[in-house]
């Protein structure tokens, strides 16, 4: 039992983000309103971004900006840099890209929802399907 509890506590970041992802996934599939689906999509993407960033954490490390960057010596060999002192920069870089992609998708989705609203005058999916079936 303590083994299981230790498992839960040591990897708690994964459990939280997976829960968030599933909330977002549930929203995309089940909600009726088009904008609520877009919000669910955003929650899903944000949860994946948080998941990646949590991979980069390192115990006892600081942010990935070198201290004494352009110090007085300003030459190679003046300071030896240890990788264990700084956090993993790669997930941060990847998630900068993923955030931008998420924003772009959000913009396009809202533009499409606007067009749908302009034509059908409603954002509820069942009402739109009813209008289509009537035609």
Partner 1 sequence: MKFLGLVIAFITGVFLVYAAVDFPDWADPESPASTHVSPHFIEKTMEETSVPNIVTAVLADYRTFDTMFEATVIFSAAVVCFFVLRTFLKKEEREERLYRHVLTGVTIRVKEGGRIPPSDDFERIDDSWIPHDLIIKTICRLMVPFIQIFALYVVAHGHHSPGGGFQGGVILGASVIVLAMSHDLRTTLQRMREKVVGILCAVGVLLYAGTGALCLLLGMNFLDYSALAPILGVGPVTARSHGILIVEIGVAIAVMTAMVWIYNNVSSRGNYNEGL
Partner 2 sequence: MSTQYPALVVVVPLLSAFLISAAGWANKRLCFPIAVVALAISTYSCFGLLVRVLNEGVVVYRWAGWDPPWGIAYYVDHLNALVLTVVAVVSLINLVATKKSIDEEFPDKLGPFYSLYVLMVTGCLGIVATGDAFNLYVLLEISALTGYGLLAMGSKGRAPLSTLNYLYMGTIGACFYLLGIGYLYIVTGSLNMVDIAGILPSLYQSKAVMAAFIICMVGVWLKMALFPLHAWLPNAYTYAPSAASSLIAPLATKVMIYVMIRLILTVFTPEFAFTTLSVSNAVVWLAVIAIVVGAVLALQERSLKKMLTYVIVAEVGYMVGGAWLGNSAGMTGAILHIVNDALMTLCVFLAVGNIVYKAKGHCFEDLQGLFRKMPFTMGGFVIGALSIIGVPPTCGFFSKWYLISGAIKAGQYHFMAALLFSSLVCVVLFFRIIEIGYYEPFSEEHGHGHGHHQEPSMEEAPLSMVVPLLIVAAGLVVVGLYTGDIVEHIIRFAIPKGLA
Residues engaged in binding partner 2 (CB under 8 A):
21, 25, 28, 34, 37, 41, 44-45, 48, 51-52, 55, 90-91, 94, 97-98, 101, 104-105, 108-109, 112-113, 115-116, 119-120, 128, 132
Joined tokens for residue 44: 């899903």
> In this structure, what are the phi and psi dihedrals at residue 26, rounded to the nearest 5 degrees?
-60, -40
Tokens of 55: 């991979």
Nearest partner of 66 among 12, 57, 131, 74, judged by Cα: 74
Question: Which tokens is 82 given?
Answer: 């240890």
Q: Least distance from C-beta 105 to partner 1, angstroms?
A: 8
Cβ at position 91, least distance to partner 1 in Å:
7
Q: Which does 5 bind (CB under 5 to 8 A by kind): partner 2, partner 1, none?
A: none
């Amino acid at each position: 039992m303590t083994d299981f509890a230790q498992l839960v506590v040591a990897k708690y970041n994964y459990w939280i983000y997976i829960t968030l992802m599933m909330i977002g996934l549930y929203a995309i599939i089940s909600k009726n309103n088009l904008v609520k689906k877009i919000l669910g999509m955003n929650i899903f993407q944000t949860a994946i971004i948080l998941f990646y960033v949590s991979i980069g954490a390192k115990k006892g490390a600081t942010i990935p900006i070198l201290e004494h960057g352009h110090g007085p010596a300003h030459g190679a060999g003046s300071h030896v840099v240890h990788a264990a002192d700084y956090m993993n920069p790669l997930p941060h870089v990847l998630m900068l890209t993923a955030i931008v992609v998420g924003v772009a998708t959000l913009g396009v989705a809202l533009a499409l929802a606007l067009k749908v609203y302009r034509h059908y005058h409603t954002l509820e999916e069942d009402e739109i399907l009813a209008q289509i079936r009537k035609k």
